[in-house]
Amino acid sequence: MLKHHTFKISGIFLGIIIVVLLMWSSVVLGLTKVSTQDVINSLFSFDGSNQHIIIQDTRIPRALIAAAAGASLAIAGAVMQGLTHNPLASPSIFGINAGASFFVVLGVTFFGVTSLEGFTWLAFTGAAIAAIIVYVLGSMGRDGLTPIKITLAGAAMAALFSSLTQGMLTLNERSLDQVLFWLAGSIQGRDLDLLIGLLPYLLVGWLLSLLIGKHMNVLAMGEDVAKGLGQRTILIKIFGALIVVLLAGGTVAIAGPIGFIGIVIPHVARWFVGIDYRWVIPYSGLLGAMLLLMADIGARYVIAPQEAPVGVVTALIGVPFFIYIARRGIHE
């Protein structure tokens, strides 16, 4: 664990460098060979060649989207774990991603929504509705919100929304192809405009997440202690929920429901910097970006020449880790 502040700050810089290097690798690596020189040329003297088009329309958007989506999911997971006192909390386990996906598929299937804005607002609405239902179900009863109740509520909502989504797809086969690859979680073939349109929302989410860390540290000592220290805990929870909805909903709109980053990365971040959320959140962002960039590069090679959806790759990495956390939880 990094104890000293200087180490923690150096870690942030090192993390940024690694993310940039991975983004570079993501642009360069793949089925079509691209050299560093090609990338520079495509940026400064675009000649309309096939290679330059691939770099500009596919590779660069993909690298940027992977970094933004990975960071957002990991931060959303860290905020959820902090607010619910639950090591298993994440946008995928608690049904946030499933809720957002359900609304997007609903819009595509029944209302013919195709615009980016439509996608975005559907995803935000779905994420918000799922978050509210899970929170209300998880805190019913006199003992209030308990980790076990909220996990059960989350798992139930995730299952419900996924089943409804699948049901809709079976009824309407036309939209199946259109939606299926997206539903598995993918950042391939996404337009850069998609990211640019969402960037304001993601930026707000990232900024708020950096400000909320200190207050989450206080809330982590329990509702009564936090209130006794003069915290308006309801405000912190509302801001936390807003961050989760913006970041998880936004990511679903771009990339579909990518699982396991939100649950795995905050634990890795804590391993580096301990339990202080002022550090856990930025570290989660950087590590999340790294994981999704790596998973996306891996997705190009696992079943080459075809591409695997990146959600499948993150699941392959995430499941063993998930079991590890669950087992550790039982032993302690």
**Residues lying near other proteins in the complex (CB under 8 A):** 142, 217-218, 220-222, 224-225, 227-232, 274-276
What is the nearest approach in angstroms of other proteins to the Cβ of residue 275?
5
Residues in the chain: 332
Closest CA to 256 of 184, 158, 159: 184
Q: Are 297 and 240 in contact (CB under 8 A)?
A: no
Looking at the Cβ atoms of 142 and 174, the one nearer to other proteins is 142
What is the nearest approach in angstroms of other proteins to the Cβ of residue 225?
5
For residue 322, give every residue at least 6 positions away whose Cβ sits within 8 Å of its Cβ, in sequence order, or none.
260, 263, 264
**Separation of alpha carbons 60 and 252, rounded Å:** 19
Looking at the Cβ atoms of 227 and 237, the one nearer to other proteins is 227
Closest CA to 288 of 95, 53, 101, 69: 69
Looking at the Cβ atoms of 11 and 274, the one nearer to other proteins is 274
Token pair 């970006």 is at which residue?
289
Looking at the Cβ atoms of 173 and 224, the one nearer to other proteins is 224
Looking at the Cβ atoms of 3 and 33, the one nearer to other proteins is 3
Token pair 């978050």 is at which residue?
131
**Separation of alpha carbons 311 and 177, rounded Å:** 17
Through-space distance between the first and last CA atoms of the chain, rounded to whole angstroms = 20
What is the nearest approach in angstroms of other proteins to the Cβ of residue 239?
14
What does 198-222 look like in DSSP terms, one character per residue? HHHHHHHHHHHHHHHHHHHHHHTT-
What is the nearest approach in angstroms of other proteins to the Cβ of residue 155?
23
What is the nearest approach in angstroms of other proteins to the Cβ of residue 231?
7
For residue 122 the two structure tokens come to 């559907």
What is the nearest approach in angstroms of other proteins to the Cβ of residue 39?
42
Looking at the Cβ atoms of 221 and 319, the one nearer to other proteins is 221
